[in-house]
Structure formats: structure tokens, C-alpha cells
Structure 1
Amino acid sequence: MRRIALVLAVTAAAACSKGDKNGGPIVAKGDGISVTADAFKKKLDEQSPFIRARYSALERKKEFLENLIRFELLAREAQAKGLDKDPEVQETLKKIMVQKLVRQAFDSEAGKPADDEARKYYDEHLDEFVKPERARVSAVIFAAPAGSPDRAAKAGQAKNALARLKVEGPKNPLAFSNLARELSDDPVTKAAGGDLGYRTKEELSAQHSPELANAAFALREVGQESGVVETPRGFAILKLGARQAPIDRPFDEVKAQIAARIGRESRTKEFDSYVKGLREKASIEIFDAELEKIAITGAPPPGASDAMAVPAAALAPARH
């Protein structure tokens, strides 16, 4: 951390020293060091408005100036001791230069998309911004297509199951899912306790029937159960697990968000292309044989089980 501070100090000192000619009046000077009015103001402007307000009086300004002078003196001493040539300092300086290069090249307003481009994105991704209501419903299904000889028997089974549910339900919160696992004729949802997942009314209608979809969306309270629902495919008993309110975000509400997203994607592509061009210009060559010889401290030996390896994602810093 000490060396990182020093490289920043050297950079700041060089900036202040170069301001003598065009930085306005000199507010402090010494042997090889000078602080101009513009340099002083620039450093002060970097502080928060609350901090800046403390430095209106002359004595306070002198206090801030003393800090700048101390900074300059330390930076000069670090440079005199050759710390600007230190490998760690050089590496830190290189990182700062790369960050500044990237900001200059890609953090501009030039890539801001026009409204029509943002509108096109909105129209092409409408399902992200406009979503109908969805419900998560569980069902005990008794399959008996209309006209089948066992339809009456299945209707009786459904009524008996509902009566059983009314007795067992108040005592056991798992009564419905247990009943679905035991009695449901739907092999897809039977093992999941009858869970149909989150579905829109249209999806339920297409996957099962309009009658089942209407009955499902007629349930208003979470945990509410239906009576026996008759459909062309048979009979069902439903239970509402959850609801998701509809989303309807008009274009004007999300235009700024879309513009930012398009801008990020555009800058990423430009950056990748930029780096690719630099790589091609530098004729980069990778020597796999030598790379393979590099031993990684703490790594399992070659051929060890992958189960012993730590996923790279687990080592990456968390994103918030």
C-alpha cells in the first residue's frame, strides 16, 4: 500500500509542477516545488461539497495547502530515492494508465444510442417489460376424456378426494401434495406434488384446458383450494401456491435503462475489437509447452479427481 501511495504521489506532484506556466498565480513554491492557484483549486474541487465548505477562510485554505505541500515533498523524496523505478510502482502506474486509456476510449457519450434504436430494442424484447399475471398452481388431475366409459367413475374419485382433502387439509399442510402424489393421473406433475409451476392464464389454457385456467385464476388467496373442476380432459382439484402481478413498463419509463444497456453492450464490443486489433498488431504468440510446465501452488497433481478442484467462479469476487 505504501508504494501504491508513492506512485500516486509522484503522479500528482508532476501534475502540480507542470502547472507553473498556465496554472495561474503560484500560491506556494520552494526548491523544485510549486503549487499554482489552479492546481490548488482542482485538488479542492475533488473533495465533497461538505468538505469544501470548511476551507473558505484563509487559515483553512492554508491548512489544505500544507497538506498539498506535504504530499509534494513526500512525492519528491520518493522520486529522489528512485521509487518511481520500483517494479511494484511501475506495475501500479501501468494499471492506472490502462484504466485511463479505457476511460478515454470507451467512457464517452458518443456511443449513446438514439431513441429509435432504444425503441427497436424495446419492441424486440417486449416480454422483458410487459408480462401478464402468472399464478403458481398445484393440481390433482383425474384423467377421463369426454365420452370415455370411466368418466363417471373418475368424477366420483375426484369428489371423494375433495372430501378427503377437507378432512385432512386442516390437520396437515402437506395434505394436498401428498394427495397429488397418490392419486393424480398426470405423470409430469405427480412426483412434484401436483405443482404446475408459474403459468399465465393462456399457458394453462393451452397446456391443460380453458376451464382449468379459468378456475385457477379464480383463486384469489394463496393456499385457497378449488372444488372439483370439470374439463374436457377429465377432472381436477386445484390449489393456489403464489401469484405474480403483471408487469407493464412503458417505453418512456425504461428508455434510460435500455440506452444504458445498449451503450454497455456497444462499448464491450468496441473494446473487444480494439484489444483484438492491438493483439494482431503485436503478433502475440503463446507457447503451450512452456505454459504447461508452470506449477501452480496448491493445485492437485495431474490426473487428480475434478471433485478436488475448486471452481474458478468460487474464487472470483462477489458481484453486488
Structure 2
Amino acid sequence: MRRLELGTAVAGTCPSLLPGAGAGIVLGFAAVTRPQQDTIQKRRHRGVTLAIAIAVLAGSSAVVGCKSCDGSKASDAGPSPTTLLTDEQAAQVLARVGDTTITLGDYTAALEHMDQFDRLRYQSAERRKELLDEMITVELLAMEATAKGYDKDPLAQQELRAILRDAMLAEARKGAPTPADVPESEVRAWFEAHRAEYKDPERRRVSVVMVASEADAQGVLAAAKKTPGAAQWGELVRSKSLDAQARANVPVDLAGDLGIIAPPGDPRGDNPRVPAEVRAAVFEIEDLGGVHSKVVPSGGRFYVVRLTQKIPPHERSYDEAERSIRVKLAQDKLRAKEDALIAELRKSVKVEIDESALATVKVNLGSSSAVPSPQAPANPGTPSAADAGR
């Protein structure tokens, strides 16, 4: 059995960083929590242990500093301190697992990524030691997975590529403005250029009874006109409608409800459950709670249409729209940085796609797999679509 050694040299540098020391440092780390460890163990035989371990232990280049060393007060769950560990401190060894080391930099970088509330779990020396033990467990699993060749498993490699992809995209996003950072002049300019999008037309809620024949529909229409109340309408829906969802056990005022729609021609008011003929008919009804005077045919079915709600038109002000515009513009800037990175990579790396091979892929809807058809030509010299996209 290999001997596990805890790095004692760290004690002379910043004792509060040691897993066995007293509390008094802001600990931040994308920790391998118990649920994550359980997940790793469950997926081990699927060949993904190594990829998960790399994701957890890779850490970040920005590691936590030691506020307690310079005499300032620190909080175990507060924000990350701005003082970074020196290269010498980060390289100090906390544990050795075979030929692999877990350094102070690994430990604090992992803590750095932890959610603030998760960090609260590691205020005590005992819990910080548990965290190190969990890191060791992950390293052991990763070593065993590598020994068994799981790192060559396509799923493990796919997950590792996804991890590396996310790391690169996160790097590309650095410096992107937050919604609050977007200049007001830019927000106002966007608002003025898209004012039509902030003018909401009158919208209406529609309810229907759907039947198979015009004769049945005429009977329902006559009954609806005779007793137009919501309760009577609900009974008609439940007893006559072919729409099982409309007949579900819902409040009477929602029986037969198809949702809210905008006037015909307004793309924002599309509702796949509402046929175009029904949509047009509900905007011809004048009174709230009224029923259209005629049966409405559509798609081989016949509808009796009732108006259950009117929402007056509304034009949103700049103040009402500002927040959503800021979020949109910030997201656009973030995506632009990602797109710029990908475009640059595509310029520097030759990408080849075998369209004929791609065309042979058949998706099996009965499972999550996609396999080539038996006629797929063997062409080992051509990179696969997955490899070409790397």
C-alpha cells in the first residue's frame, strides 16, 4: 500500500489553509461533493470516471489567497479574496496518491469554484479534511479507470472534450459585459429601433367544444346560446368535446380552454392548438363570455367557439422594457465573443467533413443511439464528423 503524505511545509506559510487547521479563510473550490462522488462511482463502468475526475481536479489558474496570513479578517463563506497564492505556495503538496500529487493550488482552486452556500459546509477543520479525502478518492478512481483503459472509452473522451470546450468558452466570455454594464445609450437605441416589438395588441382567451360532425356542432351551439353561463359551458365541454385535454378535470372557467392568442396575422399570437379559423372567429365575438354565431369548420372537425377573456392592448415603456433589453444585449455580446473564437479556430485548423458518410447515419428513434447503415462505406482515411469538429 502506498503511503499518503500530507504536506507539512504549508504550515509555515499559512496554517489556516491546511485541512486540519482552524477556520479563518475564505475557502472556494468546485468540490467533489458526496453526491458527485456517488455519481462517479455509479458511472465508473461506463468509462467516464477519468473525465469527471479531470473536470473536478483541473481547478482554475485563479486560486484563493490567504487573508488570515496578512492579519485581515476572513469569512469561510465570503467572496474570494483578491490576494492570490504565490507559485511556491500553490505548488506545495497536501497529499500524494501514488505518483500523483494534490497541491495547495489544487485544493484552493477547487474551493474557489464552489457555490457560496456549499462553501459553508467546509468551515470546520474536520470537513476540510473530508474534502481532501474526497479529492483523494476521485484521484484513486481516475487512476484505476486509466489502468483499466476507461480513458480510451469514446464516452469518456466525449465528456472530456465537452469539459475542454466549456473551459475554452468560459475563457472567451471573460470581459463580456453584464446587463448592468451595457451603456444606457445602447439600450435606448435598441428600444427605439424595435418599438413595434413592445406594442402588444389586444389578446383573447378562447375556449371551444370540438365535435366530429356539423350536426353535433349545431346542437352544441344551440345549447350554448340557450344557457351561456360558464358552468353550463363547462358541462357541454365535458359531455360533448372530442378533445380529451379539454375534458380534463379542470375548473369550469377553463373547460375547453385553448389559451391566449393575438389577432390573425400577428406572429406573436400563434398557438399550435388553435386553428386559424378558430383564431379568426374568436376576434369576431363582441361580448365577453359570448359564443360565435356560427359553427367553425377546420381540419375535418367542427368547433363551437367561446370568448372567455379579453386582454387590452398595451405599449410597454422604456422603463418596463429596459431590463429585458439589457439582458438580450449582454447575451448577444457574449455569443459574439464565443462566435469570434470559433471562427478564429476554424481559420487556423483544417476541418474536413465527409458528407456522404454523414448521409448514411440513421437515427434509431427507439434508443439514444445513431448508427450508420450497413451500406456505409469504410473510409478510415477521412476524419469523422466528431473528429472534424474538434
Q: When the two structures are superposed, what TM-score results if normalisation uses the length of structure 1?
A: 0.51
**Matching residue within 221, 226, 231 for 1:170:** 226
**Deviation digits for residues 21-70 of structure 1, max 9, x if unmatched?**
44275443454344344533443454444543333332232222222222
**Counterpart of 1:131?**
200
What does 1:54-93 correspond to in 2, within 5 Å?
54-81=121-148, 83-93=150-160
**Counterpart of 1:118?**
187
**Counterpart of 1:148?**
none
CA distance in 2, matches of 1:168, 1:110: 57
Contact preservation (8 Å) 1:10, 1:84 = no
Question: What amino acid maps onto 1:9 in structure 2?
Answer: A
**Counterpart of 1:6?**
50
**Max radius of gyration: which structure?**
1
Q: Any idea what SS the aligned residue of 2:90 has?
A: coil
Alignment size in residue pairs:
224
CA distance in 1, matches of 2:339, 2:127: 48
Contact preservation (8 Å) 2:225, 2:291 = no
Alignment root-mean-square deviation, CA: 4.7
CA distance in 1, matches of 2:55, 2:194: 46
**Matching residue within 306, 310, 317 for 1:250:** 317
Q: When the two structures are superposed, what TM-score results if normalisation uses the length of structure 2?
A: 0.44
For residue 100 of structure 1, report the CA deviation from its aligned partner. Answer: 1.7
Alpha carbons of structure 1 residues 91 and 135: separation in structure 2 relative to 1, 3 Å: closer
For residue 273 of structure 1, report the CA deviation from its aligned partner. Answer: 5.4
**Deviation digits for residues 76-128 of structure 1, max 9, x if unmatched?**
34345554444443332222112221222246424864221211121222233
CA distance in 2, matches of 1:38, 1:240: 65
Contact preservation (8 Å) 2:97, 2:139 = no
Contact preservation (8 Å) 1:131, 1:246 = yes
Q: Any idea what SS the aligned residue of 1:296 has?
A: strand
For residue 288 of structure 1, report the CA deviation from its aligned partner. Answer: 4.3
**Counterpart of 1:95?**
162
In structure 2, stretches of 5+ residues that fail to align are 1-42, 64-84, 207-220, 233-275, 293-305, 366-390
**Deviation digits for residues 130-184 of structure 1, max 9, x if unmatched?**
43655689xxxxxxxxxxxxxxxxxxxxxxxxxxx9999334689xxxxxxxxxx
Relative to its length, the structure with more helix (as a share) is 1
Alpha carbons of structure 1 residues 224 and 277: separation in structure 2 relative to 1, 3 Å: same
If asked which structure has higher relative contact order (CA below 8 Å, sep 6+), I would say 1
**Deviation digits for residues 159-218 of structure 1, max 9, x if unmatched?**
xxxxxx9999334689xxxxxxxxxxxxxxxx969955549xxxxxxxxxxxx9xxx5xx
**Counterpart of 2:328?**
261
Larger deviation, residues 22-31 vs 242-251 = 22-31
CA distance in 2, matches of 1:81, 1:192: 64
1:296 aligns with 2:362: yes
CA distance in 1, matches of 2:312, 2:132: 58
What does 1:9-28 correspond to in 2, within 5 Å?
9-10=53-54, 12-13=56-57, 21-23=88-90, 26-28=93-95
Q: Any idea what SS the aligned residue of 1:169 has?
A: helix
Question: Where do 4+ consecutive residues of structure 1 move more than 6 Å?
Answer: 165-168
**Counterpart of 2:302?**
none
Q: Percent identity?
A: 26
Q: Any idea what SS the aligned residue of 2:102 has?
A: strand
CA distance in 1, matches of 2:134, 2:227: 73
Question: What amino acid maps onto 2:95 in structure 1?
Answer: A
For residue 253 of structure 1, report the CA deviation from its aligned partner. Answer: 3.3
Contact preservation (8 Å) 1:136, 1:195 = no
In structure 1, stretches of 5+ residues that fail to align are 138-164, 175-190, 200-211, 226-238, 300-320
Contact preservation (8 Å) 1:7, 1:93 = yes
Q: Any idea what SS the aligned residue of 1:109 has?
A: coil
